Chains A and B, each alone.
Chain A
Amino acid sequence: MTREIVRLGFLPLTDAAIPIAAHEMGFAAEEGVTLELSRETSWANIRDRMAVGHFDAAHLLAPMPIAAALQLLPLSPSIIVPMALGLGGNAVTVSTKLWTKMKAHGATSLSTAREMGLALRQVLQQRSRAGLPKPVFGIVHAFSAHNYDLCYWLAECGINPMIDVSIAVVPPPLMPEAMQTGHLDGYCVGEPWNTAVVANGTGVVVTSKIEIWKDSPEKVLGVRESWADAHRDELQALLRAFDRSARWCAKPDNATALASLLSLPTYLSQSVEVILPALTGSLEIGSAQRRIPGFLSFDAPQSTLPEPAHAAWFYSQMARWGQAGFSKQNIELAMKCYRPEIYAETIGAQYRQRNELGGFFDGRIFDPRQMESYLASLPFATA
Chain B
Amino acid sequence: MSEIALMREDDLSILVVDENSLRARVIEEALREAGYARVVVVHEIAGLVRRIEETAPDVIVIDIENPNRDALESLFQVSRSVQRPIAMFVDHSDRGMIEAAVEAGVSAYIVDGLKKERVKPILDMAIIRFKNFAKLRNERDDAKRALGDRKLIDRAKGILMQQRSMDEPAAYDLMRRAAMEENRRMVEIAQSIVTAAGLLGGKGKQ
Contacts and interface: CB of A to CB of B under 8 A. Distances in A.
Contacts of B67: 41-42, 171, 173-174
Interface stretch (B68-76, B120-128, B141-149): B68-76
A183 B88 CA distance: 29
A359 B162 CA distance: 74
B88 A75 contact: yes
Contacts, number: 68
Interface in B79-111: 86-89, 92, 95, 98-99, 102-103, 107, 109
A254 B15 CA distance: 48
Contacts of A183: 46
Interface residues of A, number: 27
A283 B117 CA distance: 55
A65 to B, nearest CB: 16
B37 to A, nearest CB: 27
Nearest to B110: A74
A123 to B, nearest CB: 24
Given A41-B65, A48-B107, A74-B87, A140 B70 contact: yes
A51 B77 contact: no
A142 interface: yes
A7 interface: no
A42 B69 contact: yes
Contacts of B98: 48, 51-52, 75
B13 interface: no
25 contacts: A41-B65, A41-B66, A41-B69, A42-B68, A42-B69, A42-B70, A44-B69, A48-B64, A48-B102, A52-B95, A52-B99, A52-B102, A53-B99, A72-B77, A74-B89, A75-B98, A141-B70, A142-B74, A169-B70, A169-B71, A169-B73, A170-B71, A171-B68, A173-B67, A183-B46
* Pairs of residues from A and B, 7 with the lowest C-beta to C-beta distance, nearest first: A169-B74, A171-B67, A44-B69, A74-B88, A169-B71, A142-B74, A42-B69
